[in-house]
Structure formats: C-alpha cells, structure tokens
Amino acid sequence: MNWSRVWTVARTDLKQLIEDRGFWGPMVILGGIFFLVIPTVLLLTITKIGNVDVVHQMSQTLKVLPPGAQAQIRGGTDQGRTAYALAVFLLAPVAIVVPLTISTAVGASTIVGERERGTGEFLAHSPAHEREIYLGKLIASLLPGYATTIAGFGIYSLIVNLLVGPEVGGWFFPTTQWWVLMLWVVPPFLALTLSLVLRLSARVKSTAAAQQAAGLVTLPMIGIAYSQSTGALFGADKAGLWIGIVAWMVAGFALSRGMRAVSRARLLGVADGI
Amino acid sequence: MTSPDASADPGGTPSAPPVVQLSGVGRRFGAVTALDRLDLVVPPHEVTVLLGPNGAGKTTAIRMITGALDPHDGTVRTFGLDPADHGEEVRSRCGVVAAKPALYDRLDGRANLEYAAELYGLGRKAAVATRIRDAAARFGIEHALDQQVGGYSTGMKTRLALARSILHEPDLLLFDEPTSGLDPESSHAVLEMIREMTDDGCTVVMCTHLLLEAEGLADQVVVLEDGTDLVSGTPLELTRRYWPGTVVLVAAEDPASLAAATAIPGVRSSEPGTEPGSVRLHLDHDRRTPDVVLALAAGGARLTRVEPLQPSLEDLYFAVRTKRDVAADGGRQLTSDGINETVGGRQRQVEALTGWRAKDTPAHAGTTNEGSSR
C-alpha cells in the first residue's frame, strides 16, 4: 500500500469539491441548519419563553429517560433542566444526519463519476493499485462530512453554552459522552455507510442511479446510527466505548469487502453488469 | 527514457526482445467478443500503428497492454512482464493517451499534471514543477496551465493529455487516436512529436482509423477487425504482399487512346484514375513503365501525365479488408497479390467492400482484364 498515492487521490478529489461551489454551498447550508438554526431556535424558545405549560410538560417527559441519564441532568429550573436535556441528549441526530448526508452525496458519485467523465481511463492506466484508489476516494468522501460535523460541533457547543449555560450554572458542553460520540462512535458509522455507498458507486451505471441507491442505504444507516448514538449518550460511561468498538469492527469488515468493489474494469465501465 | 531492460535500450538491435507481445489474447464483454485470439508483437523503438474500424478491438488491445484489463484467453507480456502480476511496474513505464483526454475539468492544467506526477511517483519536488513546465511547453500549452481545464478547447485538452503522458518519461507510449479533435497544424505537431519520441528510444503504439496520419509514421502496421489481427508487417512488406507489381497513373489528351492499354504486354489491368481522362495501369513490374509509355505513344496517344503510384496506407487497408470480405463472400478467394482470379470485374469487390448489391454498383466500375484488389 502506497499511502502517498492514497493521499494524492484523496487530495485531488477534495480539490475538485472545493472548486465546485454547487457542492459546498448546500453543504454549508445543511450544516448551518442542523448545528446553528435548529438548536438556536429550540434552546432560545425553551430558555426564554418562561415557565409555561409546554416547558413544564417537556420537563415531565424527561422522567422517561434512563435513570443514569436523569442523574446527569443539571439545572434548578424546568427551563434549565429541559434545555440541558435537549442539548445533551435529544440533539444527537445533528451529529449523525449531517456527516452521513454530506459524505453519502460525495461518495455516491465518486467512482461512477470517474467513469462518466472518462477520467476512470486515466486511473485505470495509472500505477495506482485499486486499493489505493478506493481508500483515497473513501477519505475524500469522509472528510467533507466529518470536517463539517466537527466545525458544526464547535458552533453547537458555543450556542449550547451561551444559551443553556446560564441556566445550569456555567459552561458544561461538550460532555464526556459527546466527546466519545464525536470522536469514537460517529467515524465508524460514517466509514461503514461509505463502504456501502462506494460499493454502489462502483457498480451502478450513472451518478443519478448511485444517488438513488445511496439514499436507500443511508436512511436505515441513519436510523441505526441515531439509535446507537442516543444509546451512547444515555448509557453509562462505557456504553459509548463499547458501541464504538463494535461499530469499528463492523466498519473494518465492510471496508475490507468494499475494496474489492473497485476494479479497473469498473473504472473503465466495461465490467460485466455495468 | 529509463530503460532498465534490453528491450528499452536506445539503439537496441533488431534481435532485442519485443516490448509488447500478445499471444492468442481473447477478451469478452458479456456476449460481445472484443478480442479474439489476437497476436501482436511490438518491437522496441518503433511506431506500431493499429488500424481498424470502430469496434475492431484497438482500445481493448491497449488496455490489455497496460494491464488495465485482464485477458480471458492467451498471454500478455509487456516489457517481458505479465501486467496482471506486475501491473504497477508495467504501468509506471507506460504513458497513455486515451481516445477521450480523461482530464479533470474542475482542476487547472497544472493540477492535472501534478496529479499524474504524484500517481507516477515523481512526488512534489521542485524538479517536478520544471518537468511539468517542460512537458506543457513541448505541446504549446504552458500558457494555459493555470486555467481550469473545463474552459479548454478540445485541442488544448488533447495537448494537455499528451503532456501528461510523457511527464514520467515512459518507455512505452500508447496513443488511442491522439489527434482526435486537433486542427491540422496541431495534428502535424503531435505526429512529429511521436516520431521524436521513438528517436529518443521510446516505443509507440498508436491506434487510429485515420489512415493519412499513420502514413509515413508507421514502422509497423497491424490491421485489426472483429478483435483479431488480419495482417501485420512493415508498410513496405505489406505493400509488396498486396501490390507485387507497379501501378502507374497515365493521362492523355484523348482518353480513348488509352483504351488499348490492357493489350500491351506487362499490363495486367486498368481502371479509371482519380482525375477525368486518366487510368491507373497495373503492371507486372516497374521496369515495364518505359515500354508501356513507348507502346502508348506508338499507338497515337499523346500522354500528358505518367506517374508511378505508391499505394497508400489507405489502399493497403482497403485491400486487406476487401480480401477478407470477398473470401467470406462465397469463397471467392483473392490471390496473395490481390488479384481476384475467379470474379471477373470490379463489382464483386465493391459489393464486398461497401455492401451495395451488384445492380446498385456504379456502371463505370472500370475496365479490367483480371479485376483488382480495390
């Protein structure tokens, strides 16, 4: 494995994404909606609308949370406790939906795109091994989604601390569970989903077909990832670690299988079934 | 050029091992047979031109040579290595220009070349920047290196693809219709460059269906059809095989005075020339030309033109293909010199070549005493 070539493939794909305003424009908007707009509106609504029935009812629903999670909730008021629970436990989807959506969009077109543009011919005749091309494309698909998520996570942390912090006695976010979620649980789910998406991208006939098929794969993956992420947040300290370990193992297996999906015949568009 | 083995040594001897050797290679895509027992030998430091119509298997043959595709049957050896097992080593020594330029439109020209440089292991050192500049300058594209390739014209894209193919100084260049989309001046420059590359010790395999661009460039011609090699050899060998005699274009003030030409000893056949009032005489030997001129003059013909014709690659190509078609069409075999012994007249040839039925064939098909190969 020549890692220099892997990084070359990844860097070149990323360069092309950066040059494509039509791609990163919606990506920034998506990240903004999930990490900035939705949390701000929800948390502002809860912390500023006062002691009304809605907040009271929401605080009552917190009792359905696992005891371990309930014990972590901070705040002396209903607003504070509700806002804290919302920020820490109930907004896990933002950490999942954004990277999976962005990375899937990139990954779905990455191999079939080479074929459609004719650049697959260049790669097929190059010394790069199929594994190097596959990993380069994987990294190029993974990074935009994950980088957006990390950046969004920073913004989200700031908003949560600014809006909820005063209600619960100071800045508190990210919690340990969120660090585990972001650095240990989300990446393998992202890799697992991309391994499936890249396999699809290598096998289908067009970018449009790849996007359609990737959507079918991504939706259940978002569901699984969301449930596991929520479990990691709700569970005891080690829950996130164990979920991450299992996710990494599954992702590793999926990636090793996925590498076989990229062949020179598929880059050229002459493999059987294409 | 780097040349670690004997096959790539500049100035290698005729006995040097071939750079490429395909033996009985077959490749299928589903129900379609792209290559069918293809044999191909590419000698070092020469230009081998693969000729054939669309779908003949030229592109697939190139893909076999680099190992981009594996054969279903037969063996492939490039630089003496099996590309299936030594793909990286083989491809590192090959430069390929595909029929489509295969460039990244969203990147600028320099980034495209840098990408190739890194994939081919040249790295990102300062020396690479110089090499990129030199390669671009060689094809007159250095002024556009910082422009996005999406804004390039077709010709500029082809030039950039050509520059990319020589960036790593390959031993073997594989060009799939390299002048496609180029204006005549650029085409000429590319063909000149190809000749220069062989002078530098490089070996070139070029696919084309443009016969004129292969004319004068090819050291070896391989005519492909339906995935197999119909014939191969140097242009001279093939010309001698298909035209062992001489063809002379003769014109006279009165074209009717040339009608009796076929009765002159040594004249094997006659057919209309490309110019009005002219005929092409097929002689059994080039020493017959003065005798024929004398005989025609003695018969009262006032000759305005006498020009020995060298069969073009186009003539050769159609001769090869016609022979095969006629052979497949009711067993009307042609002899090795291209003369149809069993079919009197040119109509069968035209029918075999064009698919026209005999009754549709132009009536002025020519005056011939034995038929001809075209």
Q: What is the pLDDT of residue B148?
A: 94
Domain boundary, last residue among B209, B234, B259: B234
How deeply is A237 buried, as exposed, middle or buried, from its count of CB atoms within 10 A (0-12, 13-18, 19+)?
Answer: exposed
Q: Which residue range(s) make up the domain with A255?
A: 3-268
The CATH number of the domain holding residue B44 is 3.40.50.300
Question: Which of the listed residues B234, B259, B279 is the one where a domain comes to its end?
Answer: B234
Give the count of alpha carbons within 13 A of A273, CB side only.
9
Tell whether B267 and B175 lie within a shared domain. no
User: B29–A270: do the CB atoms touch at under 8 Å?
Assistant: yes
- Between CA A221 and CA B325 the distance in angstroms is 59
DSSP string, B208-259: ES-HHHHTTT-SEEEEEETTEEEEEE-HHHHHHHH--SEEEEEEESSGGGGG
Name which residue leads in pLDDT, A233 or B167. B167
Average pLDDT on A115-119 reads 90
- Measured between CB atoms, which of A20, A129, A270 is closest to B88? A129
Number of domains composing chain A: 1
A145 is a domain residue: yes
Measured CB to CB, residues of chain A less than 8 Å from chain B are: 4-5, 8-9, 12, 15-16, 19-20, 117-122, 124-129, 264-265, 268, 270, 272
Residue A5 in this model has a pLDDT that exceeds 70: yes
Residue numbers of chain B with a pLDDT score lower than 50:
1-13, 325-374
Residues A54-91 have pLDDT tens digits of 777 777 777 777 777 777 777 777 788 888 888 887 77
Which one is predicted more confidently, B13 or A151?
A151
* Residues of chain A contacting B118 with CB distance shorter than 8 Å: 4-5, 8
Full domain range(s) for residue B284: 235-374
Q: Structure tokens of B275?
A: 């110019």
| B54 and B183 fall within a common domain | yes
Q: Do B287 and B217 belong to one domain?
A: no
Q: Which of A196-200, A247-251, B327-331 has the lowest mean pLDDT?
A: B327-331
Between positions 161 and 200 of B, the ones with CB within 8 A of A are 164, 174
Strands B246-252 and B228-233: unpaired
Instruction: Answer whether A240's CB lies under 8 Å from A182's CB.
Output: no
**Could you tell me if residue B297 is inside a domain?**
yes
Does B194 share its domain with B275? Answer: no
Single out the residue in B234, B264, B281 at which a domain terminates. Answer: B234
Q: Are residues B229 and B263 in the same domain?
A: no
User: A90: which DSSP letter?
Assistant: I
Same domain, B277 and B228: no
CB-CB contact of B26 with B69 (8 Å): no
Residues of A in contact with B102 (CB under 8 A): 117-122
Q: Is A274 inside a domain boundary?
A: no
Q: How far is B124 from chain A (nearest CA, A)?
A: 10
Is the Cβ pair A272, B29 closer than 8 Å?
yes
In a domain, A176, yes or no: yes
Q: Are residues B322 and B197 in the same domain?
A: no
The predicted pLDDT at position B161 comes to: 93
Confidence (pLDDT) at B8 = 42
pLDDT score for A225: 66
Residue A55 contacts residue A82 (beta carbons within 8 Å): yes
* Distance, CA of B127 to CA of B245 (rounded, Å): 56
pLDDT of residue B352: 41
Same domain, B315 and B183: no
Does residue B89 lie in a domain region? yes
Residue B144 lies in a domain: yes
Does the structure show a pLDDT above 50 at A265? yes
Same structural domain for residues B253 and B216? no
Residue B1 covered by a domain: no
Q: How many structural domains are present in chain B?
A: 2
Whether B56 and B177 share a structural domain = yes
pTM above 0.80, yes or no: no
Q: Are residues B229 and B267 in the same domain?
A: no
Report for A51-60, A120-129, A181-190, B262-271: range of highest mean pLDDT: A120-129
A273 domain residue, yes or no: no
